[in-house]
Amino acid sequence: MYELNEEKDPAVLGPFELLAVLGQGGMGRTYLGRRLSLENLGPELETGYHLTEVRESAQPELAAVKVIKPSKLRDSSEHSEEEVRARFAQEIETMRTVAGARVPALLGADADAGQPWLAMDYVHGPTLHKLIHTCGALDVGPYGALGLALVDALRTIHGAKLLHRDLKPGNIALGPDGPVVLDFGLAVLTERDSAAALTKTGVGFGTPSYMSLEQARDTKHVSESADIYSLGAVLFFAAAKRPPYPLAPMVTAPKWDGVYAPYLPLLGRILVQVEVQRPSLDEIESDLRQLLADHGLTEEAAADQLGALVTGSGLIPDLPARALLDLADPEIQQAAQQAVDEGGAPDSPWAPDLFDEFLDAEAQNLEPLDENAEAGPHPAGYVPTVVDPGAQPAPSAAAPVPAQPPVTSYRIASPQPPAEPEPVAAPPVAVRAAERLRKAYAHTGRL
């Protein structure tokens, strides 16, 4: 988590105050934000922002606000700005159809903004990728709890007639209520012959180390079984601290060295390259429950063990003091409300066109959102795609692997605000904006 750069980062996007930078991926940047309490927003903005109802909560409701880099809307590749925006709009619709404890809820979005953004629940905790690399392979309790949570997540996603297609350790956050599956940037309607499908046949999207062979050949024409394979690859990583294949899926069985023997039957059944031989989510759930029972564990005890592991890992990031306060920055709140009262957008006082320019500069060394260094050439974030022009030939062949067999939520203590947070003195909005513009132009060499 990084402080906002006043020369490059806006203070507000849509009706969300931005508090910190969470990271960046190949297609954009993600901020920690909080929804501003605004009156008289009007039906047009309410509808345009896809805003959900504000939920009652003892803690401030925080959001992860994802933004597409302006350069990705104006690049010279085969993908036009309209196609990138269409992909982004589809992600918004995707998020709106998926609701469950294991996927973050959509809080708001604007695909038509000069700088398109999407806000979803912020999950306060480390990724599975970080946890395993720091703490090592999971014991039976945390392993079973993780597996059952991922089964719940995929059941929710598939129940909405969607596929995830990029399930991997870097897309799984371990939050206060257990594992949550992130990033629907690669989701695709399972109604694959729909004229609205935006994924090009014959193109592989996703992360090679965690994808099935059929997905590596042709991402569009895959089934729910491809996500089940990725679930198995994630569980393999949780058991071995490495993906089943270092670079891409292979027809040969993975090396099982170092994997706890009771995990092998289930992993062997999932990590096969023949789709129809993989177990269903119900079968995986049954095997995971049996694994826990064989070790004298209930699902609740397993979830508690995973929660304790996360809490003791030292990986839960510290929230900025502003995020722990009940109210927004008074100046930001006032400027946003004034803009709305005058018939503008809440973020209009913050010169979005100028910030577009700054976000185009990629000189800032931020930790990528996708922490899988082994992920290969496929970028994290949003993938601009085009209308399917028809089937294309696919790459190499497939064959099976061996065998058979193998919760959910937990609580992390809510972060407490500092004993006496120091008040942040800020100049009036107009003075601060003028100072930012002066620095900005100095930064770009225009003065």
Catalytic residues: 166
Distance CA 181, CA 157 (A): 10
Distance CA 85, CA 219 (A): 20
Closest by alpha carbon to 149, among 239, 280, 264, 281? 281
CA distances 438 to 7, 10, 362, 419, Å, are: 9, 15, 20, 36
Distance CA 64, CA 117 (A): 10
Sign of CA dihedral 208, 200, 99, 277: negative
Cβ-based burial of 254 (10 A; exposed 0-12, middle 13-18, buried ≥19): buried
| Cβ-proximal residues to 133 (8 Å cutoff; 6+ apart), any chain | 241
In degrees to the nearest 10, what's the CA dihedral of 431, 437, 443, 447? -100
Beta bridge partner(s), residue 179: 174
